[in-house]
Structure formats: C-alpha cells, structure tokens
A and B are shown apart, each in its own frame.
Chain A
C-alpha cells in the first residue's frame, strides 16, 4: 500500500507527541502528591494508537481503555485538556471527574473510556450498531489488551458484531502482560487473532511496533467494515515497557526481555525509515521534536496553573 509523505510525517509526529507526553508523566509521578491516583502508561506501544487512528476519519469512533493516552492523542485530543484532567483540575476535559484512567473526549469521537477489562467490546458493538442503524459510512474501533480477550464480554460482543456485520475493529494490543501475568500464563492459543475463527471473522496478526504496518492493516479492516462486511479482529504484537501503574516494580518481567523490546522501539523504526527515504531531514526532525516538547511543556504549564474544582462540583453531572 502506497502511504503518502504527509501521512507518514503525521504518524511520526503522533509517536513523538505520545512518547513525550508519557515520559513527562513518568517524571511527574515521581514527585509526591503531584498526580493523583494510578498512572497506567502505554509507553512503547504508541505505534498501535498512532497507526490505527491515522487510518480513521474524524467521524469514526474509538472506545479505549486504561492505556488510552496514545489513542486519544493520535485521534486528536487536546494535550492541555488531557493533562489538566490527569492533574485533577477543573479545566480538564472531564472537569476532574475522570482522572487519567477514564478520559472521555466526545469532541473527537472518543465518548468513553472504560477501565473495566473487557468493558469496551460490548459498548463498541452498540456504538457501531448506531452507525449501521443510521447508515453512516464510519466505524468504531475498540482498543483492548490481551487480557481483555479472556473476559466473557469480549466473546459476547464479537459474536454479536459478527452476527449483525457491525462496522467494528477489535484492536487487540497484545503487550504480553495482563496485570502481573505473562501471556502464556493466561492464554493457551498462540495468537489472540486465532479466536476470530470461532466467530467467522478475519483475524490478523501484525507487528504492533511498526506504525506503517499497523496503519495498512487498519485501513484494510476499516474498508471491510465500511463496505458492510463486518468486524475484524486485529492483534498487534507489542510490549508493555511500564508496569500496571507507576508503583508497579515489574518484578515479574525479565529485565533483558524489556531491553530486547526497547531495541524494537516503534519510534526509531519509523524515524529512520523517513530519514532514509528523505521524507524528513535531520533538521526538520529536530524541529518536530522541539515542537512536541513545547506542546507537552505547555500542557503541563496549563495543568499546573489551572485551579482545582470546588468540592461541591463533585455533585454535578450525575444526571442530565
């Protein structure tokens, strides 16, 4: 598949923004009482959100999960509003109600994030049903991890999506860990994608650290869905650099394994390719990096300077 220069640069930009955003969060989490709650990061997995969202139109919908930063940034969420929400500030995209784990950005068609493992697929089915009901030529993407595919809700949802030929992309980021369990300890099939056969839908395995391969596979699955041919289960093989929360010491994860995967980092992979093809010069790359740094700095400044909500605002937004 021919991928335009603009698309490739857009993906590199998205990878860099996501990485810098999360690297900043890693540092902020080390400062006591700076960031409330848990902090679950997708560092190292950015090629999935980047590649998939690059294949989407604005009207396409994403339903994401607890490792959502990269998905949301790639879909076009405002980093300032995300950061303020992560800080628990009034100016955050959800007025401080969601925190980092449940970021919802309806403006970019990311109406809800669920942190209940396996919660996303049934909702994605409903959202895609609405697209089919209204004869929209759009799709819903459901981002899940490998662990979520062991929830019953995943199987109910895929079955229904297949049965009704709903325009859904079940995007599984197989990062080899679910909580503190290695993939082999929680799932017997070698590839999650094999499960697609049980629902008579295509299941594909793709290198999840290769943004261009991710993009290509998502374009194909999207085309199928829009054509009324139903859902696809795409398994992206990737790796979880950070733990299940920044307080997780990752004692169950071999150090050399982490290093091997860090060698396969999605950013240099795309960057070097673009440099070699002459699609970006070293100077332009430096400029792009500085711009992403500035965006993240601005977001942090905005969050720091924003006020907290008033306690009584906790009572708002329960009912419409």
Chain B
C-alpha cells in the first residue's frame, strides 16, 4: 500500500487536518467511485469524514482471508493410551490449580501404573507444572501419551518432555537433555552408558563432568571400576571426589582394598582378643589423598587425624571387621562403644553400611545410636519391612511414644502397610498431649495423610473426636482427614471406566 492507496490518502489528510491542506476526494473506480462523487459538494471536513466512512466500510466488507499452503497433516496415530476417567481428570485439575498439590506425585504414579494418559485439555497446565518442579518430570513423561509429547515439542518451555530417543541427541543435545538421556540409558544398558561417556569425556566441560559421572551411581558395578579408578587422577577436585565416593561403594574395588590394607596396618597385632583397638594414622600421603582421604571433614568435632581415620573406615568393606574380629555386627557395635575411637568407628561403619546397603549393620548401629545423625544414616539403609518392624515393635510396647518415632516414620517415603497405619493411628489416639511437640506432630500429620492407605479413611475419621478439645491439633486433624479423603476419592476415580462422559447422550431423561 503506497500513497496511491485511496485509504492512505484519506488517513494522511486526516492527520494533517483540512485547515492546513484542503481535502480532495481520491479518485476511485467502480461503484465506490460513483458514491464518492456525491461527496465532493460537501464541506472539506464533511467530505473527509464521509469518505473515511465509505472507504473503511467498503474495505471491511470486502476483506478476504489470507491463504497459506496447506501442510499435509501426518495422520494421527490412534494407538495412544486411553484417557483417565473425567473424575480423575477433574481431581488432577484441582491439584494443578493449587489444591492438595502434595498428592500430585501419587496421581501421576497411579495413572502411569494403569497405563492411562492425561486428557488433552489439562496437558498445558501439567507441562507447566513439570517445568517448575523438576522432580515431577520423570512421572509426567509417563502420562503424557503421544498427544502430550507432540504438544511438548511445540513449546520450547516444555522441551524437557520431548523424548531424547537416539544417540544422535547425545552428541548435539543440551546438557539437561543429555543428562536425562544418559540417566535413562544407564538404567537399561549400564555398560553402553559408560562407554558413551568415555567417548566424549575429553570434550565435556569441567562443570558437567562431575554431573555425568554421578549418573554412574545408577546400576554401579565392578565393570565401572577401571574407568572410575582412572578418574581418581582427574584435574577436577569434584570429579575426584565423585570417583572416590563411587569406588568406595564397590567392596571389590582397588580403592576398597587399599583402604583395607591401610586400616589393617593401624590395628595392633594383639588387639583381637580384648575389644577393638585402633591407632590414628600418622600422616595423609598423596596416595591417601588420591583415594579421597582428607579432602573433606565429615565430623567437625573430631581432629584432623581422626577424620582421616573415619574416611578410611567408611571405605572398608564391613566384612573385614567380622572376619578380623570374628564377631557379629551387634557384638562389634557393642565393643566399639567401649573403644577410645567410638565415634570414629560407628560413624565410619554407618557410612559404609549406607554405601553397601548393609541392613544388618544398619540395624545394629541404629539399635545402639537411636535418634541421631548416625541413626538417620542407618534408617536410610533399612528396608521398608525393617523400618515398619522397628516402629510397630516400639508402638506395640508403648503406643504413647509415637513422638519419639516421628523421625523414623518421616523417613518412610513409601505407602504404609495397613498394620503400620493402624498402629500409628492407635498411637495418635493415645498421645499424651502435654508431652507432645505439637508443631512437629502437626507437620508429621500431613505426611501421615500421604502414606496411610486411603481405605482406612473411616477408621481415621474417629481421630476427630480424640482431638476435639485440642485447638491446635484439631485443625491439623481436619486437614489430615481432608487429604486422606482426597486420596480416597482419587483411588475411586481411577476405578471408574475411562470413557464415562464421552458417550453420545440421548436426551435428558
């Protein structure tokens, strides 16, 4: 559109004003032109306004849509997962809008277990949620269905949900995408993942190397040992730390052997009969430094040498102690308690138990240490069954001591057994309010509501009367019950057929 365009001529004239320049009606052909000739006898202002009206209406009435080439649509694959039920979708939407958000991981877990997907309408909000909460991403990927992944590919904000499916992406993708790919590959083909990392190691930036190496923690095995041993000599301190830590998780690694030899040298020859005796290392040589000793201070209450000793013990396979002293873990813990280096031994063993997932040792140390930093390390090692057994045992002997067990229960991140849930609820109704740390219990209640099997909702409702007179816990119990109720509704919603509400209706009655 240039100055020849009659509409532009009118706009220019209007901007300038008729007092500066008299208005001349533009020449237009056709019927509009005929209409415009009738305007010329009017005053310049009236002529300008009328011309503007005629031309703009003519333009708008004659407007035609643009045409783009039609891009042939790839026929949509119909073999997508079935949608979840409308009721389940409605509860999902409630969570995405900020209510009961704690339950979202459970919703995602049920949906993926039932192999159902999120209905189209809720995909944008769900993908946004995953953008903000990284820990949800893995679960979200499983319920997006083909439609969701297609959608995610259209928006750069949702790139995390786009499948990194081939090794080509390993060469070219973003760091985040490559980490995800390596993680995924490592859980299926651990050797292939390590080889891939080995191949590009020298091109990786110093910052990324430690992150990639950390992924080898998944499915860690002796096959990784030569690669990790080599990385003990890496230029980056962080890479050396990760490598040493991973090697200490492998009882048969050369690092563990070296640690064992070092410790063996520190045990006096005659010590084996009368309790546990051990000496402090005199110095930390370069070999020890290379194996990660002295690079950090695990316990600030101990001296430098005691910390070296602790780090070495943490790298020694626990079977060494059983073989050397011919005692069970429980006996060894008892003996260590009498030792001069009690803290060093027990902390070191607790770390070794966590590294090797040794539940017997963890249980023995927990039994002795109770609620402490060391005890918490041990609780992480225990199996669900062991954890539950500890708590159930304690509660059965004294239901009132629920308070003292909260820290263990809060470690139990998985759904509880019916038996444990019943014991805990029994414990709740037997609480002595005067001895209770209320704020702690209040936050624990919220976690309980996420772990108790929802089918116990009716039994749980009885708790309302227990706390009727306690103003602080009363509201917490209501919140607890509401959460449990929400989870109950959610379970029910997933039992509904996934097609309800989409059938073709036949009139209202």
Is B a genuine binding partner of A? no
Interface residues of B (CB under 8 A from A): none
Interface residues of A (CB under 8 A from B): none
